[in-house]
Amino acid sequence: MKIFKLKSTLPILAMLLVSNFCFGQIFSPKIDSLVDYAMSKFNVAGVSVGIVKDGKIIHEKGYGIKSVKTNSPVDEHTNFAIASNSKAFTTTALAILVEEGKLKWGDKVKDHIPEFKMYNAYVTENFNIQDLLTHRSGLGLGVGDLMFFPDGGDFTIDDLLGSFQYFEPVSAFRTKFDYDNLLYIVAGEVIKRVSGMTWEDFVAKRIFEPLNMDHTYAALDKIKDHDNLATPHSSETGILNALPNFEEMINGAAGGIYSNVDDICNWMMVHLNSGKYGDNLNDTLFTKNSQREMWKIHTVLNADANPRYNSHFSGYGLGWGLSDIKGNMVVQHTGGLPGMLSKTVMIPDLNLGVVILTNTSDDGAGIFNAVSKAIIDDYLGLDDFGWVDKYAFYFQSRKIKGDSVTQQVWKTVEVADDSHINENNFIGIYEDQWFGKVEVLKKGDQLWMKSHRSPKLNGAMHFYKANTFAVKWEYQDMNADAFAMFGLDEEGKAKSIKMKGISPNIDFSFDFHDLNLIRMSND
């Protein structure tokens, strides 16, 4: 795979000045300078920025490149995977169905999907449509995401619907926020069963088309012309490395949309206009009542403690994070897939919306946070806080700390004495009730682990300590290497495996800790 180190073309003088000026009235050259400076601090391939203010698009522009393989430039129409920013499209689709009388927010999920089953009978009986959308199920962060991370598994909607009964709750139902993706996929299935259209067809027909989002797609396979599609990249190793596109999930309700800042500006404006769009705002996508429901806190979070913003509340609505800064309501969401990160922020009181799309993991989160906060701070009349430098320092420190942990693990592996290990005690097939079979086998002279249902999860097992091995996956698009900790019987033969990620910076969607692998046979 070709690798490329992106070099900034920003003049040194501009780099020195940009951290000190106040925007006052935002205009494109100042945003250009901000983004260029940010790209000099964060190793990203491309960035696209869109801003709407008072019902107009005042800035939309691409920066950097779509791919290190082509060096072709990003523009305002370049498509990126917007990942979890897709969730608000799902809640809007449900709002449309509610307004049409085809379902109610309080409907029980089992009334639309009879086979839906949670971890106990009470939760199954009372789980409603809004519970699918508000991250308050009682299950842990990213639970079950291992069915889709990494991509390429063969899990079906039936597998997903049958999985929740096997997960252990970490909190009481409806009491605590723990972000999840699987329940949004269930919401996409609700849309399919209620409307008679797939989630992809519904959002395309009922949302993209009326809003003239004519270059937005509900799935990668809907894109026929890839000429203006950004390629995902990783900067984990310090150099930009192109990644393959993430393969489709069961449906895209949790994170399947591909879009661009030009189209997302239309999307932000319909929300800032309380569901109105078109010439003179004569058309309605959803009503003010639906917007109130989507922008109402359903799950409470802690408010930002930063005195700079004087925040009083924070929580999650329906597909949107909600908070306040300096007396203004903030509506926002982020999204992330391997090599693709995005952020959408709206401040309704200022009639302001900002969207930032990137095609690089790791540093992409730093740049979308720093740039969006710098722009918003200016509109709030705040002084320059040096967000770019602060986030650059934070992400660099985080990476150094994480790398030190993983490096120490592999140093321990290098000197570990495995002469006492009887590999036959570990070889066999282990099964988890929701994830399926995982096999430990001998591959040449090396112990090896492979998942039967998620083919990218296969890799060499290296003795670490005691009954623990470190697994180096062949899949390296994301930092997902894991510990495999064996439970032994009285004869020293393995009877179970528990797992957890090695790096403290591992993405939460690699929920190895939710596995309970039981050996099927000691033969």
pTM of the predicted structure, to 2 decimals: 0.92
Other C-beta atoms lying within 10 Å of the C-beta of residue 464: 20
User: Are 180 and 143 in contact, with CB atoms under 8 Å apart?
Assistant: yes
What kind of fold does domain 416-519 have according to CATH? Lipocalin (2.40.128)
Greatest CA span in the chain, whole angstroms?
78
Structure tokens at 47: 């960035």
H/E stretch holding 126 reads helix 121-126
3-state DSSP assignment of residue 431 = strand
Q: What is the reported pLDDT for 213?
A: 97
Q: For the chain, what are the domain ranges?
A: 3-138+173-398, 416-519
* Length of the chain in terms of residues written: 523
320 Cβ contact partners less than 8 Å away, ≥ 6 residues apart: 88, 91, 294, 295, 331, 332, 333
In 10 A of CB 3, how many CB atoms?
Answer: 13
Determine the Cα–Cα distance for residues 161 and 491; give it in Å rounded to an integer: 38
Contacts of 140 (CB under 8 A, 6+ apart): 167, 168, 169, 170, 178, 511, 514
On the question of a common fold for 3-138+173-398 and 416-519, the answer reads no
Q: What is the pLDDT, as a whole number, of residue 26?
A: 58
Q: Are 349 and 329 in contact (CB under 8 A)?
A: yes
Smallest CA-to-CA distance from 77 within 333, 264, 242, 345 is with: 264
Q: Which of 109, 455, 62 is nearest to 230 (CA)?
A: 62
Topology given in CATH for the domain delimited by 3-138+173-398: Beta-lactamase (3.40.710)
* 414-to-408, 410, 419, 460, 503 alpha-carbon distances in Å: 10, 6, 13, 14, 17
Q: What is the helix, strand, coil percentage profile of the chain, to 5?
A: 30, 25, 45
* pLDDT the model gives residue 318: 98
Neighbours of 372 (CB within 10 A): 21
CA atoms of 69 and 330, how far apart (whole Å): 38
Q: Closest by alpha carbon to 522, among 488, 492, 494, 499?
A: 494
Would you call the peptide bond into 348 cis, given omega within 30 degrees of 0 as the criterion?
no
User: 151, 174 in Cβ contact below 8 A?
Assistant: no
Please name the residue that has the structure tokens 């989630």: 199
Tokens in use for 257? 């949309």
Tens-level pLDDT at each residue, the chain (523 residues): 332 223 333 332 233 333 333 333 456 789 999 999 999 999 999 999 999 999 999 999 999 999 999 999 999 999 999 999 999 999 999 999 999 999 999 999 999 999 999 999 999 999 999 999 999 999 999 999 999 999 999 999 999 999 999 999 999 999 999 999 999 999 999 999 999 999 999 999 999 999 999 999 999 999 998 999 999 999 888 889 999 999 888 999 999 999 999 999 999 999 999 999 998 999 999 999 999 999 999 999 998 888 899 999 999 999 999 999 999 999 999 999 999 999 999 999 999 999 999 999 888 889 999 999 999 999 999 999 999 999 999 999 999 999 999 999 999 999 999 889 999 999 999 999 999 999 999 999 999 999 999 999 999 999 999 999 999 999 999 889 999 999 999 999 999 999 999 999 999 999 999 999 999 975 5
**Host H or E run for residue 322:** strand 321-325
Q: Which two tokens stand for residue 492?
A: 């020293």
Cα–Cα distance for residue pair 27/378, rounded to 1 Å: 11
pLDDT of residue 46: 97
- Compute the distance between CA of residue 450 and CA of residue 459 in angstroms, rounded to an integer: 7
Alpha-carbon distances, residue 92 vs 27, 45, 199, 312, 349 (angstroms): 31, 32, 12, 27, 21
Give the integer Cα–Cα distance in Å for 255 and 489: 42
**Residue 85 and residue 92 in contact, taking contact as beta carbons nearer than 8 Å:** no
Cβ-based neighbour number of residue 509 at 10 Å: 23
Q: C-alpha distances in angstroms, 220 versus 223, 248, 406, 457?
A: 6, 7, 33, 22
Give the CA distances from residue 211 to residues 52, 62, 143, 269, 412, in Å, rounded to whole numbers and listed in that order. Answer: 15, 22, 34, 10, 56
pLDDT for residue 12 = 28
Mutual angle of helices 387-415 and 363-379, in 10-degree steps: 160
Residue 501, beta-bridge partner list: 482
User: Helices 363-379 and 28-41 sit at what angle, rounded to 10 degrees?
Assistant: 150
The candidate with the shortest Cα–Cα distance to 162, out of 115, 124, 120, is 115
